[in-house]
Structure formats: structure tokens, C-alpha cells
């Protein structure tokens, strides 16, 4: 739950504000126009009136929030966030957003020595040269803790 909350907090305030405005515009449009003019709708119970006023704007509210999320998430992952925000906003039926979630890069890590953002899989920090993970003693590429041999050059890792 807290992870989900962290992700929601990533959505920039303006994206939430735009979502709320769009939703409010739809709410007023639905509430004032058809309910004010359609005699059949006017006889509906209040809950029904509220439901048909509240619901149409909701998908747009979620869409605006998701586009905001794509913007912030792409930025923190070091991706081309301007391009992805446009794709998420402009491709219909949320296909841009789905594409983003399929294609997004893994989260960046922070170098333990200088704090610079580095991609997962890097063996050394590009800023300070500090070691980020185990590296093969022969070819210096990143290796995983359980390996006994380097997958790139075949060197034995038993000493490492």
C-alpha cells in the first residue's frame, strides 16, 4: 500500500489540478445541461443524477493523472520524458500509457559513493568511478553474486 502511495505522490500537482478541472467541467456540463432540460431526467432520484454527472469525467481525471505519472516516472528513470508525456497524452485509448509501462527502463540507482544516478547493471559509477556491484576481475563487467564464472569472458569468479 505504501508503495502505491509513493507512486501516487509522484504525480505532479498540476496534473492532478488539470484532472480535477476536466472532471469538474464534465460534472457541471452533465449536471446543468441534460438534468436541467430533460424532464425525464429531472424525475430521477438525486443519487442517479449524481452518478451520471460524476462518472463521465472520471476516466479523463485518471487519464490526466496517468499522463502526469508518466512525465514524473520517465524523468526519474532518465528516459525521454517530454516525448513519453506527449505519447501518453495524444495516442487515443490510453495506448501511449500502456506502451510506456511495457517499454519503460528500470529505475535508476544512486551511487553509494557520490550519489549520482546510475542505471542498473552498471559495474562502476560513470561520475566517480566507484564500484557499484561485483565486477569480473578480468573484463571488469558487472557480474551477479551467485555466479562462479563471468558470463562475458568465462573467467573464474571463485576468488572474487
Q: Where does residue 5 rank: exposed (0-12), middle (13-18), buried (19+ CB within 10 A)?
A: exposed
Query: Residue 54 corresponds to which cell in the numbers above?
Result: 460524476
Provide the minimum distance between the beta carbon of 54 and Zn ion in the complex, in angstroms, as a whole number.
50
Q: Which residues bind Zn ion (CB under 5 A)?
A: 111, 113-114, 116, 125, 127-128, 130, 136, 138-139, 150, 152-153, 155
In the bound state with Zn ion, the residue whose beta carbon lies nearer, of 88 and 143, is: 143
What is the phi/psi pair of residue 121, to 5°?
Answer: 100, -15
Name every residue whose Cβ is closer than 8 Å to that of residue 13 and which is 6 or more positions away in sequence: none
In the bound state with Zn ion, the residue whose beta carbon lies nearer, of 56 and 121, is: 121
Provide the minimum distance between the beta carbon of 107 and Zn ion in the complex, in angstroms, as a whole number.
17
In the bound state with Zn ion, the residue whose beta carbon lies nearer, of 86 and 122, is: 122
Amino acid at each position: 500500500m505504501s508503495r502505491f502511495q509513493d507512486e501516487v505522490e509522484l504525480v505532479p500537482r498540476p496534473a492532478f489540478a488539470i484532472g480535477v478541472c476536466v472532471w469538474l467541467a464534465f460534472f457541471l456540463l452533465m449536471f446543468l445541461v441534460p438534468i436541467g432540460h430533460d424532464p425525464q431526467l429531472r424525475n430521477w432520484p438525486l443519487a442517479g443524477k449524481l452518478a451520471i454527472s460524476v462518472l463521465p469525467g472520471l476516466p479523463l481525471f485518471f487519464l490526466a493523472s496517468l499522463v502526469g505519472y508518466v512525465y514524473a516516472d520517465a524523468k526519474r528513470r532518465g528516459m525521454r520524458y517530454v516525448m513519453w508525456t506527449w505519447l501518453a497524452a495524444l495516442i487515443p485509448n490510453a495506448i501511449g500509457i500502456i506502451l510506456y509501462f511495457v517499454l519503460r527502463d528500470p529505475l535508476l540507482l544512486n551511487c553509494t559513493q557520490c550519489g549520482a544516478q546510475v542505471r542498473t547493471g552498471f559495474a562502476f559509477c560513470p561520475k566517480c568511478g566507484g564500484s557499484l556491484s561485483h565486477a569480473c576481475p578480468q573484463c571488469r563487467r558487472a557480474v551477479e553474486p551467485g555466479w562462479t564464472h563471468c558470463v562475458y569472458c568465462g573467467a573464474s569468479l571463485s576468488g572474487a
